[in-house]
């Protein structure tokens, strides 16, 4: 095995708190093992477009990064296997990426990302590029790991929005519908709904029925939330809906149907659709809010700091040992967690979604077993 001397690290896809702690963990442990780290800007884009935007990452440079949200390296949703040329046609430029890794004198690449970024990493690994993946996404939908960086901070952010929605909703007697990210997986909606004690939680894994939502609202709120109020019932209700949730007789609501390089349209708008339906079909007034990108914002939570530095350090060890083609994986979540390496190809073609049979009460639209 030839000794690894220099590696490049990049962050791709949606930003997430926990990425900067991971970079710090990587740089510290790599330097301890005699490896230099270069930061590559803006995800896979950095390896496609010379002049290359490369930042040498020494310990002193990243010393404070554990406290920073987002990614200090920048990010993009670039897919080297589907790169638009001058005429807008998407072509495979992966061989340029491979050549540029060599040109930059990098012995290996550490890619931090979700199914798209790590999907590219897996395909480059198949082509012989020495690669390690670090799992990140607020959606927590990556196969092969219990934890993905950013999830816990997003949970904190959404819970805070639910909490802050209570005073306006309670003062005015609204049904407050709160839309949460997560694409086709409902982890963030489900667990933020539990943390914020929402009355109804709608997830992509189980198409909902409007009539059932109305029935739950009626059970919760009584006949009316307007004056004079029924003291036996709460004055308002909170509904958490995942952006990818869909009614049985409805369709996925899309905010922008231009597909990105990985084939994704931007989801969004189901909260407003639901709020309008509640207003037209029930006696209740309703409001909607899309939490949007701030749910990925702010400093990393303690869990994301711990998992970040541990994931980064584990990636550095994998590099030092030449154990390529792997993704850092966690069984459990800090502090009760065990890290290991899994084959990076595990992320290809599948996502981890909520286990409906085990966790979701399809009658009450809530976490099973809570009596909510
Ligand atoms: O995958 C992370 C995520 O935040 C999804 O939950 C969401 O659907 C998507 O990214 C939003 O994409 P963008 O950041 O391009 O608006």
Structure confidence by residue, pLDDT tens digits, 289-328: 999 999 999 999 999 999 999 999 999 999 999 999 999 9
252 occurs within a structural domain = yes
Q: Is residue 362 part of a domain?
A: no
Same domain? 181 vs 94: no
CA distance 344 to 75: 20
Do 282 and 211 fall into the same domain? yes
pLDDT at 304: 98
Q: What is the DSSP letter of 247?
A: B
Using the mean position of ligand 1's atoms as its centre, give its distance from the Cα of residue 292 in Å.
9
CA-closest residue to ligand 1 atom 10: 14
Catalytic residue among 139, 304, 317, 352: 139
CATH (domain of 62)? 3.40.50.450
Task: Please name the residue whose Cα sits nearest to atom 14 of ligand 1.
Answer: 14
Is 139 noted as a catalytic residue in this protein?
A: yes
Q: What is the pLDDT of residues 234-264, one digit of tens each?
A: 999 999 999 999 999 989 999 988 889 999 9
Q: Are residues 143 and 17 in the same domain?
A: yes
pLDDT at res. 2 = 76
Atom of ligand 1 nearest to the CA of 141: 1
14 Cβ inside 6 Å of ligand 1 = yes
**CA gap 81, 261 in Å, rounded:** 9
For residue 260, the ligand 1 atom closest to its alpha carbon is 15
Number of domains in the chain: 2
pLDDT for the residue 163: 98
CATH of the domain at 237: 3.40.50.460
In this structure, the answer to whether residues 75 and 54 fall within a common structural domain is yes
Would you state the pLDDT for residue 51?
Answer: 81
pLDDT digits (tens, 9 = 90+) for 70-98: 999 999 999 999 998 888 899 999 999 99
Same domain for 262 and 194: yes
Query: In the predicted model, is pLDDT for residue 130 greater than 90?
Result: yes
Q: Measuring from atom 16 of ligand 1, which residue has the nearest CA? A: 266
Position in ligand 1 atom list of the atom nearest CA 138: 2
Give residue-wise pLDDT tens across range 112-127. Answer: 999 999 999 999 999 9
| 311 shares its domain with 189 | no
**Do 233 and 190 share a structural domain?**
yes
- In this prediction, residue 225 has a pLDDT band, given cuts at 50, 70 and 90, of confident
- Note down the domain range covering 195: 152-297
Q: Whose CA is nearest to atom 3 of ligand 1?
A: 14
Confidence of residue 268 (pLDDT cuts 50, 70, 90): very high
Share of the chain above pLDDT 90, in %: 91
């Amino acid at each position: 095995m030839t000794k690894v001397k220099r590696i490049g690290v990049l962050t791709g896809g949606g930003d997430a708190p926990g990425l900067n702690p991971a970079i710090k963990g990587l740089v510290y442990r790599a330097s301890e093992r005699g490896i230099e780290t270069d930061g590559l800007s803006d995800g896979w884009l950095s390896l496609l477009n010379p002049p290359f935007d490369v930042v040498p990452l020494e310990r002193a440079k990243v010393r404070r990064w554990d406290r920073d949200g987002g990614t200090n390296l920048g990010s993009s949703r670039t897919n080297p296997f589907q790169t638009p040329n001058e005429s807008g046609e998407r072509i495979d430029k992966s061989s340029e990426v491979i050549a540029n890794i060599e040109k930059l004198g990098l012995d290996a690449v550490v890619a931090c990302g979700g199914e798209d970024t790590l999907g590219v990493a897996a395909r480059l690994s198949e082509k012989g590029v020495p690669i390690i993946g670090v799992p990140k996404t607020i959606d927590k939908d990556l196969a092969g790991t219990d934890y993905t960086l950013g999830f816990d901070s997003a949970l904190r952010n959404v819970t805070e929005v639910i909490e802050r929605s209570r005073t306006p909703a309670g003062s005015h007697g609204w049904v407050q519908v709160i839309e949460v990210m997560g694409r086709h997986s409902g982890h963030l909606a489900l667990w933020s709904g539990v943390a914020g004690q929402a009355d109804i939680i709608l997830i992509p894994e189980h198409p909902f029925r409007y009539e059932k939502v109305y029935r739950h609202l009626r059970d919760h709120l009584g006949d009316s939330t307007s004056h004079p109020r029924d003291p036996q019932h709460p004055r308002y209700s909170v509904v958490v809906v995942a952006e990818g949730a869909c009614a049985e007789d409805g369709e996925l609501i899309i905010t922008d149907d231009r597909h990105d390089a990985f084939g994704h349209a931007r989801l969004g708008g189901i909260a407003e659709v639901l709020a309008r339906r509640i207003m037209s079909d029930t006696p209740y007034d309703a409001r909607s809010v899309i939490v949007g990108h701030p749910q990925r914002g702010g400093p990393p939570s303690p869990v994301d700091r711990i998992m970040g530095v541990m994931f980064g350090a584990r990636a550095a060890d994998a590099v030092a040992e030449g154990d390529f083609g792997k993704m850092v994986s966690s069984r459990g979540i800090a502090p009760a967690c065990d890290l290991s390496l899994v084959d990076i190809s595990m992320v290809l073609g599948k996502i981890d979604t909520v286990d409906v049979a085990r966790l979701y009460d399809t009658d009450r639209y809530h976490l099973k077993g809570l009596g909510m």
